[in-house]
């Protein structure tokens, strides 16, 4: 048994997290059983309170009892890692992305995406991916440019995602013959005979005819980063935090993905029978490229390369919500902030599953 004096702003849950006890009520009960009558308390702790806390060996025994009674506030995965189960990745997802300058909303983009299981081949999972129902500022745009873009993209979908057994996206390929897609793109020119539309269609044909560009264009999306990133392959350690790891997120439109140093934190339940598992992901940029350099198409991260100009200063934050019963993804609520010279640029990203069966 150890005597401890509580700190400013510290809660009973905070103290339990520090000592790695899985239910705050057991700490309160332990204290009340070992203190004098005048030192007993109900509710939460306050600053400067003397608390009797269990030793390390006693905490291990208490945690066994807590789990035996199904009263733990934490759902620790086997071997510290939440497994990728391809059966639960199938479904329809809503995406909402909002851009800000300081606190002013600049634009709000929405669309839906669909993943369908195609099958398993050579140990890899094949999904069919498509995107649809695009909106800007809550309206479906009927402008000529947007209509042209939608018609071109509809010709390409669905595309095939190839996923390894750990949930890593290793390849994106077309599901139709290149010549058939090119032929349909050419037919769109009949509806848009102007030079701009012709140039746009020719650019799309150039992408379709280059498998490497197809893979890069479709792979570097926030949806893919949040669905198939290193987050899922990173283990929790002895408590609720993972080791530091690294991954790329394409937060800036039409620019190369930014490399972040990241860490995951398993959050406690709000209530014992909470239906969601929540994991927090925090990251800071360790990319040595500046904003201008990220917009170069041939720009690649190289940790050995120094830059004369100040590298991009930004941070990444996300909360992942999983269904407790089968650990299928329910929602990702994420935020990106870039600290420029004059103001703060922000992107909010919400990915939410809208399929009932998960």
Helix (H), strand (E), coil (C) string for 276-324: EEEEEEEEEECCCCCHHHHCCCCCCCCCCCCCCCCCCCEEEEEEEEEEC
Q: What is the mean pLDDT of residues 152-165?
A: 92
- What's the average model confidence in pLDDT over 291-304? 76
In angstroms, the CA 269 to CA 22 distance is 10
Q: How far apart are CA 43 and CA 46, in angstroms?
A: 10
Token digits of residue 30: 């332990």
Residue 326: which residues within 8 A CB-CB, separation 6 or more?
Answer: 85, 88, 358
* Predicted local distance difference test score (pLDDT) of residue 285: 94
Distance between first and last Cα of the chain:
45
* CA–CA dist 214, 230 (Å, integer): 22
Give the model's pLDDT for residue 262.
Answer: 97
For 308-353, what is each residue's pLDDT tens digit? Answer: 567 889 999 999 999 988 888 999 999 999 987 677 889 999 999 9
Band of pLDDT at residue 358, cut at 50, 70 and 90: very low
pLDDT of residue 303: 66
Length of the chain as a residue count: 358
pLDDT at residue 296 in the model: 81
Model's pTM, two decimal places? 0.88
Question: Which residues have C-beta within 8 Å of that of residue 341, sequence separation ≥ 6?
Answer: none
């Amino acid at each position: 048994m150890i005597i401890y004096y509580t700190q400013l702003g510290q809660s009973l849950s905070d103290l339990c997290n520090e000592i790695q006890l899985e239910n705050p009520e057991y700490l309160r009960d332990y204290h009340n059983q070992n203190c004098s009558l005048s030192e007993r308390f109900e509710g939460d702790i306050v600053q400067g309170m003397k608390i009797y806390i269990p030793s390390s060996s006693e905490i291990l025994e208490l945690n066994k009892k807590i789990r035996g009674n199904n009263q733990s506030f934490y759902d620790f995965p086997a071997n510290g890692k939440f497994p990728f189960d391809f059966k639960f990745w199938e479904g329809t997802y809503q995406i909402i992305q909002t851009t800000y300058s300081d606190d002013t909303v600049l634009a709000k983009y929405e669309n839906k995406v669909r993943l369908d299981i195609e099958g398993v081949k050579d140990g890899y999972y094949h999904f069919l991916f498509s995107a649809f129902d695009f909106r800007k500022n809550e309206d479906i745009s009927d402008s000529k440019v947007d209509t042209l873009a939608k018609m071109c993209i509809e010709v390409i979908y669905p595309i095939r995602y190839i996923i390894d057994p750990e949930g890593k996206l290793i390849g994106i390929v077309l599901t139709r013959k290149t010549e058939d897609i090119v032929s349909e793109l050419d037919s769109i020119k009949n509806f848009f005979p102007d030079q701009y539309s012709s140039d746009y269609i020719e650019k799309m044909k150039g992408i379709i005819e280059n498998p490497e560009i197809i893979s890069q264009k479709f792979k570097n999306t926030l949806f893919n980063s949040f669905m198939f990133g290193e987050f899922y392959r990173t283990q929790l350690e002895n408590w609720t935090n993972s080791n530091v790891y690294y991954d790329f997120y394409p937060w800036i439109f039409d620019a190369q993905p930014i490399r972040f140093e990241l860490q995951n934190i398993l959050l406690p339940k709000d209530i014992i029978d909470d239906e969601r598992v929540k994991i927090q992901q925090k990251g800071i940029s360790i990319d040595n490229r500046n904003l201008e350099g990220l917009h170069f198409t041939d720009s690649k991260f190289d940790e050995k390369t120094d830059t004369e100009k100040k590298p991009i200063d930004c941070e990444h934050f996300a909360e992942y919500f999983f269904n407790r019963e089968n650990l299928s993804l329910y929602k990702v609520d994420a935020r990106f902030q870039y600290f420029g010279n004059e103001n703060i640029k922000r992107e909010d990203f919400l990915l939410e599953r809208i399929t009932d069966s998960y």
